[in-house]
Amino acid sequence: MSREEFAKQLIRFMSRYDRFLLSGHIRPDGDSVGVCTAMALALQNMGKEACIVFDGDASRYTQILHQVPALPEELSVKDAGKFFTTGTSYAFIMMDCSEPERTGRAADAIMTAEASMTIDHHITSKETADFNYTEAQTGSTCEILYALFQLAQVPITQEMATALFMGAAFDTGGFRHSNTSADTYAMAADLKAKGVDSTFLLNYLFHTRKFIEARAMSMALKNAKLYEGGILISCMTQRDFFMMGMNAKDADGVVGSLMEIEEAQVACYLREIEEGLIRVNMRSRETVNVARIAQLFGGGGHVQAAGCTVEEPMLLVKERLLEAIRRQLAEGANA
Ligand SMILES: [Mn+2]
């Protein structure tokens, strides 16, 4: 389906219902939070009620955006209808993911909603809703939503522009990754002209970290090993995190820094988030398709950024990853 066709479906969908439940993926990231916030603001501007369901801490991103309603943590999606003031039925829009399970808490909303829609840019995307739209070649869901809003003539306010810019910047690594296109820069220019503080956003997203995170990074580097073929692997155990007085779940962002190492073609960051439960984050340059590696372990993502969670001992996960990457390198990433 073309963007033009879907833009018409989208505006009809936004007009038809009065209340909307929105969700991105579990462990909300900048794109996920940005796109849900921009959509919530657009719906509010149309006189609709909108509520975002987050599964995981979204505060790093929500705290720099215009505040929109979020479903309280103690309310389950079954009771989401109670949250609205004008009625209890709602339509559901899933963004930056397209499988209900990927939303975590909002997984059942697709069943309880009057109608559902997905807007996504993951290559592993599935068509699970009444209306589905995917652009795997586009760098962020925020960029897709921006293009759709342009086509559907949905006005973009400064608050919406900030949310969209944040998401687009986040998923392109600050407009650096190969998923950054001429259209991405044109969008960034337009959003900046609408009043976005790009200097603040880029510094905040990519060059600001808590002291404890910087220390986690130093330990991740200390634990890193560079294997033949440019495979960089760093493992952090529960004990490592305990010794630094931090929670493994708070050490996101480290993998991006591992990828700054010149010799690395692929960087894998393994965290023991619970005993025997390993969270794997991967980044790569052109030579390795990490989405395919992640899929082997039940995860997903993009060619250059992907992840999975594996219930096995750290050493075994590391060995299996190393083997899978070596096999892909031997076969060629596109084989
Ligand atoms: Mn995304």
Phi, psi of 205 (to 5 degrees): -75, -35
pLDDT at 294: 97
Instruction: Give the residue from 206, 229, 251 where a domain finishes.
Output: 206
Of residues 209, 257, 205, the one with CA closest to residue 234: 257
Number of domains composing the chain: 2
At residue 228, the pLDDT reads 95
Question: How many angstroms separate the alpha carbon of residue 135 from the centre of ligand 1?
Answer: 11
How close is the Cα of 215 to the center of ligand 1, in Å? Answer: 27
**One domain, residues 96 and 145:** yes
Q: Per residue in 91-137, pLDDT tens?
A: 999 999 999 999 999 999 999 999 999 999 987 767 899 999 999 99
| Centre of ligand 1 from the C-alpha of residue 172, in Å | 9
Rounded distance from Cα 169 to ligand 1 centre (Å) = 10
Give yes or no: residues 174 and 239 share one domain: no
- Side-chain-facing half-sphere of 46: CA atoms under 13 Å: 24
Find the 141 Cα to ligand 1 centroid distance in Å: 5
- CA angle 48/97/61 to nearest 5° reads 70
Q: How many A from CA of 85 to the centre of ligand 1?
A: 31
- Same domain? 115 vs 224: no
pLDDT value of position 290 = 96
**Mind listing the pLDDT tens digit for each residue in 194-229?**
999 999 999 999 999 888 888 889 999 999 999 999
Is residue 333 predicted with pLDDT exceeding 80?
no
Q: How far is the CA of 131 from the centre of ligand 1 (A)?
A: 19
Q: Would you tell me how many other CB atoms lie within 10 Å of the CB of residue 97? A: 27
Do 326 and 245 lie in a common domain? yes
**Mean of pLDDT values over 170-184:** 94
Mean pLDDT within 143-170: 98
Q: How far is the CA of 140 from the centre of ligand 1 (A)?
A: 5
Within this chain, do residues 121 and 49 fall inside the same structural domain, yes or no? yes
CATH of the domain at 222: 3.10.310.30
Answering whether pTM is above 0.85, one says no
CA distances from 213 to 127, 244, 246, 270 (A): 37, 10, 9, 15
Considering the chain, what is the average pLDDT of its residues? 94
Instruction: Please tell me the distance between residue 334's alpha carbon and the centre of ligand 1 in angstroms.
Output: 22
Sheet-wide strand order for 305-310: 225-227, 231-236, 266-274, 277-284, 305-310, 300-301
Is 325's pLDDT higher than 80?
Answer: yes
Q: Are residues 276 and 309 in the same domain?
A: yes
Confidence of residue 146 (pLDDT cuts 50, 70, 90): very high
User: Considering 183, 206, 229, which residue would you say is the last residue of a domain?
Assistant: 206
Residue 64 shares a structural domain with residue 103: yes
Same domain for 38 and 184, yes or no, is yes
Domain that holds residue 151: 3-206
- In the structure, ligand 1 is a single-atom ion and the residues with CB under 5 Å from it are 31, 96, 141, 171
Residues 63 and 181 in one domain: yes
Residue 335 CA: distances (Å) to CA of 92, 137, 181, 331, 332: 38, 19, 25, 6, 5
Tokens of 325: 């990457």
Which CATH number does the domain housing residue 67 bear? 3.90.1640.10
Condensed to tens digits (0 to 9), the pLDDT of residues 226-243 reads: 999 999 999 999 999 998
- Give the Å distance between the CA of 270 and the centre of ligand 1: 21
Ligand 1 centroid–CA 9 distance in Å is 21
Q: Are residues 52 and 96 in the same domain?
A: yes
Do residues 16 and 148 share a domain? Answer: yes
For residue 112, the CA-to-ligand 1 centroid distance in Å is 25
From 206, 227, 255, give the residue that closes a domain: 206
Q: 124-128, 176-180, 215-219, 279-283: which range is least confident on average?
A: 124-128
Whole-number pLDDT of residue 334? 54
Is residue 241 domain-shared with residue 190, that is, in the same domain? no
Tokens, residue 56: 């995981």
pLDDT band, very low/low/confident/very high, at 27 (cuts 50, 70, 90): very high
C-alpha 31 – ligand 1 centre gap (Å): 5
Residue 146 Cα to ligand 1 middle (Å): 13
Ligand 1 center to residue 98 CA distance, Å?
Answer: 11
Q: How many angstroms does the Cα of residue 123 sit away from the middle of ligand 1?
A: 11
